[in-house]
Structures are given as C-alpha cells and as structure tokens.
C-alpha cells in the first residue's frame, strides 16, 4: 500500500512537470512552404540579407512568407546586447555593409512589398548606433519602391536624440520601438536596457510627429496588473499602436516561460488597450511586433 502511494506521488510530480513545459494547443502552428516562401528565402540568401523572421525563430514564418511578407533586419545578425529572451546572436561584430541599404531596397522590390517593416540589431559599438545606416535604408527603399510604406522597429540608440532625429527626419510611416516587458523584469530580461529610456524614445518620436508603436511579450513573469501598468505607461507617452504576444523560449539558455496566456486573456488586453486610447492593439498568442503590420496601421 505504501509503495502504491509513493508511485502515485511520483506520477503527480512527473505529470505536473510535463504540464509546466507542454505548449498549449493554441501555440501549435503548421509550418508549410510554397513557391512564394521559397522565392522569399532565395531573395534573402542571394542578397546576403537577414530577417528577424529567421533570426528570432518567429513562429509565423510559414504564414508570413507564404503571403510574401517578411521583416528585414539590417546592420548584421550580431547584437551588442544580451537580452535573455532573444534568439539573435552576439559575438564578433562586423562593420555595417555599405551596400546593405541598396540591397534592402532591391529585396523589397523583388518581394513585391507595398509595406516594408525593417528592424535591426542593437549596435552600441557604432558612434551613431547605426542611425545613418537606418536613414540610408529608408531612403533606398523609397527610391527603388515608390509608394512603398516603411515601418521601422528601432533600438533605443541609448536615448541619443541626434540618432533619433536622423531616423525621424526620414519620416517613417510608423516608428516602432519595443518595450518588450514590464519595468520590474528589465534587470533580468533586458539588463543593458532601461524601461524609462525606452518610454522616452517613444515620447520623443511622438513629439516629433511620428505614429508610434510598441510591442510586448507576456509570459516572462509579469502579472496582469503589471501589463495594465505598462499599457498605461505607453499611452502616457502618446503611443498609438501596441502589439502583445506570448513569449516562447528560443533555447534552453534563454529565460523559461513563466506562463502561457490564454487567447481570452489576450482579447482582454486588446480591449483594455483600446479603452485606454490606443489607435490599434493586436494581442494574441502568436502576435509579434511586425505581425500583420500593414493591416494594423
């Protein structure tokens, strides 16, 4: 009898451990490729470009690329920061490729994008944080693709207003900068970033007349009330658009998932954000900051 009870307890322990790591069904995605997907991949490889879709192991890559939508990532594939949730690598940094803006413009043309979303790694090693490279890239996209809208998802440039001015002078159609998570989790999740500085970046862009956008991940250890506080903080600096999605641990070296937020809870985040005055909010388990960006604008 004693043995039987012990086995049962063990089973409970095993079962609860399995429950803790098992992904809920709403996060399961079917990854299939079609000719458009293959062509997108060829364009990226041929021009020696990078996409956040691949580098960040985005779960939507199949869906987006089959629809010929991708987010190009400039300034290389190596980041100077070490955010504990991000799959983008760090290591030996290369100087920016001076041809990259032209290649990005061409890739946007070949992909047939009418709405280009561009992001970059953080380049704290560069005196301007890569701002001039950013500006050239926006100009090249527009030069080679008249009428194409450009959404940028930029790093914080360490709060450097000259760098921000350089990007803002190109008048991107949407200026995005992600808060990523709540203030309390910054030391753990984004040790080299500063929540208040990121809010200040969004505020600066808003005051310069840009449409601003931010994105967050949930499931890193925040409470529901802390999500509400973050949304309020973002609104207090005039942020227009917000996205929220489930954090997924890219590798065992990254922060573990603290909880899987239900689709119903994401719906609640959307409603809450809209009530606060955001012009648009997209929240869902698989939402990423560039997901359905054109429709969101």
Q: Which stretches of the chain bind ligand SF4, using CB under 6 A?
A: 52-53, 58, 60-61, 64, 69-71, 288, 290-291
Query: Least distance to ligand SF4 from the beta carbon of 239, Å?
Result: 19
Chain-centroid distance of CA 188 in Å reads 18
Q: Cβ(277)–Cβ(241) under 8 Å?
A: no
Q: Cβ(116)–Cβ(151) under 8 Å?
A: yes
Q: Cβ(119)–Cβ(73) under 8 Å?
A: yes
- How far apart are alpha carbons 63 and 103 in whole angstroms? 24
Query: Least distance to ligand SF4 from the beta carbon of 196, Å?
Result: 27
Residue 233 or 243: the one with the smaller Cβ distance to ligand SF4 is 243
Q: Cβ(36)–Cβ(68) under 8 Å?
A: yes
Query: Least distance to ligand SF4 from the beta carbon of 53, Å?
Result: 3
Query: Least distance to ligand SF4 from the beta carbon of 33, Å?
Result: 13
Residue 64 or 163: the one with the smaller Cβ distance to ligand SF4 is 64
Query: Least distance to ligand SF4 from the beta carbon of 178, Å?
Result: 12
Residue 233 or 288: the one with the smaller Cβ distance to ligand SF4 is 288
Overall residue count recorded for the chain in this entry = 297
Residue 47 or 206: the one with the smaller Cβ distance to ligand SF4 is 47
Quick one: tokens of 123? 């380049």
Residue 204 or 291: the one with the smaller Cβ distance to ligand SF4 is 291
Quick one: tokens of 172? 């991107």
- Residue 83 CA: distances (Å) to CA of 49, 168, 191: 22, 25, 7
């Amino acid at each position: 009898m004693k043995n039987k009870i012990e086995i049962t307890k063990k089973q409970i322990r095993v079962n609860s451990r399995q429950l803790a790591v098992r992904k809920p069904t709403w996060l399961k995605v079917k990854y299939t490729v079609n000719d458009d997907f293959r062509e997108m991949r060829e364009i990226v490889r041929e021009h020696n470009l990078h996409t956040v879709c691949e580098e960040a192991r985005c779960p939507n890559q199949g869906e987006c690329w089959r629809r010929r939508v991708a987010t190009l990532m400039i300034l290389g594939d190596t980041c100077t920061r070490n955010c504990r949730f991000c799959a983008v690598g760090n290591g030996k940094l290369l100087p920016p490729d001076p041809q990259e803006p032209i290649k990005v413009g061409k890739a946007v043309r070949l992909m047939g994008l009418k709405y280009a979303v561009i992001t970059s790694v953080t380049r704290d090693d560069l005196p301007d944080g890569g701002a001039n490279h950013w500006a050239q890239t926006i100009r090249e996209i527009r030069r080679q693709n008249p009428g194409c809208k450009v959404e940028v998802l930029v790093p914080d440039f360490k709060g450097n207003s000259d760098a921000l001015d350089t990007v803002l002078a190109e008048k991107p159609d949407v200026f995005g900068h992600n808060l990523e998570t709540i203030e309390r989790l910054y030391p753990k999740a984004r040790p080299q970033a500063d929540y208040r500085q990121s809010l200040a970046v969004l505020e600066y862009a808003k005051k310069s007349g840009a449409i601003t956008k931010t994105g967050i991940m949930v499931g890193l250890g925040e409470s529901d009330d802390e999500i509400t506080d973050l949304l309020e903080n973002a609104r207090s600096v005039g942020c227009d658009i917000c996205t929220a999605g489930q954090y997924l641990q890219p590798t065992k070296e990254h922060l573990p998932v603290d909880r899987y937020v239900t689709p119903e809870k994401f719906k609640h985040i959307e409603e809450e954000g809209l009530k606060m005055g955001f012009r648009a909010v997209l929240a869902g388990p698989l939402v990423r900051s560039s997901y359905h960006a054109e429709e969101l604008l």
